[in-house]
Structure formats: structure tokens, C-alpha cells
Amino acid sequence: MKRTYIFLILTLLVIQSGFAQVDRSKFPEPGPAPEIQIGDAETFTLDNGLKVFVVENRKLPRVAFSLVLDRDPIQEGDKAGLSGFVGEMMTAGTESRPKDDLDEEVDFIGASLRAGSTSLFASSLKKHQDKILELMTDVLYNPTFPESELEKLKKQAITGLATSKDNPDAISGRVVAAVNYGKEHPYGETQTEATINNITVEDIRNYFETYFRPNIGYLAIVGDINKDEAEELVNKYFSDWEKAEVPTKNYDKPSRPEQNKVALVDRSASVQSVINITHPVEMHITNDDYLNTRVLNYILGGGSSSRLFMNLREDKGYTYGAYSTIGSDKLITNFSANASVRTEVTDSAVYEMMNEIRMIVEEGVTEEELESAKANLSGSFGRSLESPSTIANFAINTERYGLPADFYATYLQRLNDITVEDVNQAAKKYLNPEGLYITVVGNGSGIKDGLSQFGEIKMYNNMGDPAREVEMANEDITVEEIFEKYIEAIGGRENVEKVETAKITSSAEVQGMKLNLTSIHDEPNRQFAQSVEMMGNVASRTVIKDGKAKVTAMGQSQELNDEQFEAVKMSMFIFPELHYEEMGYTMEVDGVADVEGKDAYKVIIRNPTGSEIVNYYSVEDGLKLRNENPMAGDTTYEEYEEYEGVFFPTVSTMKSPQIPVPLKTVVESLEINTEISEADFN
């Protein structure tokens, strides 16, 4: 206690005497950055060309083995998606160990074993290092690639693809790749159901035999092991791995657009717009400007204090976050500025984002921004050194990319030496405000006109392909005419208006579990009930009755408010097209769209609260093809069948934010004008 008082008194005396006075109007001059003493990875190379890096770390009795293959990017073409299966197929069983046995042996010793298209990783306690290497090399030398596993993986991939088709971020990623690199580039191609189904076991085996070769391999060993032990183990398990010539690939370099262009994906159910402003960039860790672009990006959009974040979130309140990236890749990469914003501020957000890009190029950065960026990047680098695997990665990168031997040791010194002028020159060199792709995924009818100010608009579909141009043959067609054609297509007004009640039982499957859905409509009394059962239990129930709606799920009931009720009340009608007008809805035709390869009239329907849904009706036969609802999701009607002179959709696919995968429902029974009771709506 006495020492504390003495320290405080001395401090006050120093302050009073003036020795502690500083000029607080400017940042203090930074001291020289130290050269980091990074522990060197010990290295050796096998006769087959496998390069090995060993980082000894005795903190825990564990050892990790990380194999990385350095191959050129591959264009997979009509088998796009192939490389995504390689790792799972490698670990699906070996000649002596079926998959279950392999997994059991790994689990028994508390180890990890996994593979990818250019990697193989294993880790275990030190006492099990021989066993895990035996399993690792069994996978490397003797994979069987079972057909049954490939079929399972293909089904999973197609399910995931179906989900991604309705995910705005996934759609945006495909469009960004397509405009930056082109579909004929390995970074721009997209897997489809067709390309996935084209992949065979023989394709997987050919890939494996071509690219899993030691002469393009780097093996990092990190943990409770020294070089001598590692050399003995690696020679024992990897010296028989045969080297072979690995093909190399060359691709044309994508170029920036000469002027700003807008790539728009119309997703009518969206209440937000996913914006990504981008163009290709040549940047790699070997580039002299690499560190300059790290600093530049941090200032523009690298975190919560960046210009984009402070403008769009803190100042304008358009979004939860706005960020940017400048990638790094030895082939080609891209610059990207991205944010998800409310539909009504889409064009304003794009303007602000483009303005920030333009300002950092034309006006440059400040000394204060530079010092803040350096401090944050230095801290990130320092924290990365806490992981022993980082040292191994540094050694591999140094060898793999031909970096100077002191590249990482002098990282902080070189970062500290960066000047405002260095960053400003990098901005002018690597950012092009007048040649940007402005990609947007959102409600086209609400944002298209506003986006036209930024450049020529080109429409894309959810797979990143240019949208099929559909001409509207009858530009004067009205909503009434579209609805009348639909009513005629499903049986004619006389037959349709006779339908007063309906009981529809459907089934669906979610991740192997069967769902049973029962819907009961009572149009004369404006009543509706829908139950969803799983494994014999009612999972949820919705009832519309007496002008109110109640939802029960998980034993809890909730009555919907007026706005929520407006969003669901049309469910009580079997054919809502007969009732939109009388219920106070407004409708408009918004052109013709492509729905699963069919031309369809797009009809926007607004309820009295202003919320929208969108229906699509076939130009050819009038049938309703799709419904898009911001709350419930999208439903695509795939098949119609006749019941007592009226056609009903009997197979449909629903995509909803509340459902992890697309839900395909099939009607099992449908009763028209059947007897129903009040008990059905309790």
C-alpha cells in the first residue's frame, strides 16, 4: 500500500514539473517495428519430391500431419462439382477397411482424419502417431471410391444446390464469379444438377491418380515431435508414394469492365437487396503491393471502423454491416465491396458505396487512418503467431511461392514502413471506380429503375447465367385477362365457382422424416385449417376463423396481429384469384419472366397493408406456375391433376426461410365439396 502511494506522489510531481507534458494534438511518433523472431520450421525432402516441414511444439502430447497439394486450378466443365466429392470419396473406405471400420478405428484412438481435393489431414495423441499415419496412408494409397457413397454425395449436393438457388448470398456469389471471370474460367463455372449427375467414380479415380502425387506435395508436421522422429516416420509411411508428372493449366486473364455495368437478379420475394460491387484484380502474396492493398482494404471496408461501415451503417442506417475485400491468388482474384440493405434504399446504398470507392482513389487516405490500419493488421499478425501451425504455413508459403527467407520475420517492419503515398498509389492502381460490376440480388420491380443510373442493366438468373430474354407478345394484357385465362385453364369459371369446400392431404420428406400436411378450406364461412404432422404428432397447426388467425406450435399458441393476418388470410381461399379484388387487393402486370424454362406473366399482388406477393402464370396455357411470398417463401407448382372437372396442383416444391431444404409435397388425397364440421377448425 505504501509503495502505491509513493508511486502516485512521484507521478503527480513529474506532471507538475512539466516532464510529463506532451502534445496531444497529434499522434506520437511510432517506434521502429521489431524484426519478429519466428521459430524456423525444420525441413527435408524425400526422393519422391515430397517436401516436409517440422515445427516442434511440446505444449501438448499431440501431433498433426497436414498435406497440401499445389496444383493449378482446373476447369471441370460438364462435370463441375467433381473436386468437391474427392475428399469424401477418399475417406469412404479402403481396400482393407470399409468406411465404418475406418471411422471406428479413427474414433477409437480419439484422432481426426479428413481429406479434400488438394489436402489430407490427420492428428492424434503422440502415442498414436504410428496408428494415425497408418490410417492416413491407407486412405492415400488404397481408396476404393464406392459407388454407393458417390450416389449419396450427389443426392446431398443436388439438395444443397436446390437450397442455394433461393439463397440471395449464394446467388450473389455465382453472379460475382460469372461477371468477373466468365463461365469458361475455373473460378467462374457453376455446378448444376446436370454436371453433378455427370460425375462418375471413374472421374473421381482419374482425378485422384492424376493430382495426388508427392512431387507437388507439402507435408507440415506440428506438435510433440522433432525432426529426427519426423524423418523416420515420413520415410516409413510416405517413401513408397510414387511421383508422376502432373499437368499444368493456363487461362486467359479476365479484364476489368471498361465502364460500370449492372448485373441484376430479380428475386421478387426479397425484402433486402444483396449488393456486391466488384471487378477482377491481379494480386498475390508475391506482389510488391501486397501489404499496401491489405492496408488499403482495411481502411475502405476491413472492419467496423472502415469507411464503408461507418457510412452505410453508422451514418445512414442502411445495413447491419458493409465490408470490402481485395483477394489474393496466384492466378486471379477480385475486389469486392458488399452489403445487404433494405429494398427501398438499394440505389442510395449503391451510390454511397461507389462514392466511397471513388473518394479513396481520388482523395486518398489520411495519416490517422493509416496508423489505425497498421495497428490492427499488426495485432492480427501477432495473434496468428500464437498457433504453431502458423509457423508451418509460413514455411510452406515461403517454399511454395519463392518468397524471401525473411518475408515473415520482417513483416511488421515492412508494414510499419508503409506511407500514405504507398496506399494512395495502390488505390489508384488496383481500384477502378469507372469500371465496376454492380451486382444486385433483390426485388427487381422495386429497384430496377433506381439502378439504371449506374450503368447498363443486364439481367441474370439465380445460377449466374444471363437471364433468357422474354418478349411480351401482348403488352396490353390486363390482370383480369390473365386471371380469366387461369380460371379457364383449371376447368372454367362455372366448375371452379362450384367448389366451396376442400380437404387436401399431402406428404413431404425432410431429411429422411415424413411430414403429413392436411388443409381444410371452407370458403362460404371464410374458414381454413392446416395441420403438419411428424411421426404421428402434430408439429404445427394454423386456423383462420371469425376474421382471426391463430398458429399453434410446440405447445404454444399465438394469435396473429392485423399485419400478419393480412399476409396469410388468402390461404383460406381455394382459388384466391376469385377473391383478390373483393378483399381490397391491388394487382399489376410486371412483364413476362422465365419460370423453369417457361414464359410466364408476372403479376404483383398487394394487400391493403402494402405487402406484396408475386404470382406467375404460364403465357402458353394459363396455369399458375409459381407463388413468391416474402413471409412464406416460394412455391413452384409442377404438376396438375383433374378432380371432378377442376385441375389442382398435386406436386409442388416450397422453399422457405424456415425450412433448411426445399420441401417437395405430393397430394395423396383431395376431396371436393366434402362435408366438414366446426370441429375441423378448433
Q: Which pLDDT score, from 0 to 100, does residue 16 have?
A: 35
- Site of grid cell 498475390: 284
Q: Which residue from 97, 111, 107 is spatially nearest to 139, judged by alpha carbons?
A: 97
Q: Please provide the DSSP assignment of 217-284 as one string.
A: EEEEEEES--HHHHHHHHHHHHTTPPP--------PPP---SS-EEEEEE-TT-SEEEEEEEEEE---
Q: Which pLDDT score, from 0 to 100, does residue 536 have?
A: 82
Average pLDDT over residues 383-409: 89
Average pLDDT over residues 591-601: 91
Q: Which pLDDT score, from 0 to 100, does residue 7 have?
A: 33
Domains of the chain, earliest start first: 42-238 (3.30.830.10), 261-460 (3.30.830.10), 479-681 (2.50.20.10)
Cα–Cα distances in Å, from 74 out to 44, 49, 82, 115?
Answer: 29, 22, 10, 18
Q: Which pLDDT score, from 0 to 100, does residue 6 have?
A: 32
Confidence of residue 269 (pLDDT cuts 50, 70, 90): confident
Residue 243: beta bridge partners? none
- pLDDT tens digits, 156-198: 999 899 889 989 999 999 999 999 999 999 999 999 999 999 9
- pLDDT tens digits, 325-374: 999 999 999 999 999 999 999 999 999 999 999 999 999 999 999 999 99
- Determine what percent of the chain is predicted with pLDDT higher than 90: 76
- pLDDT tens digits, 216-255: 999 999 999 999 999 999 999 999 999 999 999 999 999 9
Measured CA to CA, the distance from residue 114 to residue 88 in angstroms comes to: 8
Q: Where are the beta strands (DSSP E) in 304-356?
A: 322-326, 333-342
Measured CA to CA, the distance from residue 217 to residue 219 in angstroms comes to: 7
Confidence of residue 35 (pLDDT cuts 50, 70, 90): low
- pLDDT tens digits, 597-648: 899 999 999 988 888 899 999 999 999 999 998 777 889 999 999 999 999 9
- Judge whether residue 40 has pLDDT over 90: no
Measured CA to CA, the distance from residue 578 to residue 523 in angstroms comes to: 11
Confidence of residue 388 (pLDDT cuts 50, 70, 90): confident
- pLDDT tens digits, 451-481: 999 999 999 999 999 998 887 778 889 999 9
Average pLDDT over residues 126-136: 97
Candidate from 143-152, 418-427, 478-487, 604-613 with smallest mean pLDDT:
604-613
Q: What average pLDDT is seen over the chain?
A: 91
Asked whether the CA dihedral 325, 326, 328, 333 is positive or negative, the reply is positive
Q: Which residue from 624, 584, 621 is spatially nearest to 603, judged by alpha carbons?
A: 624
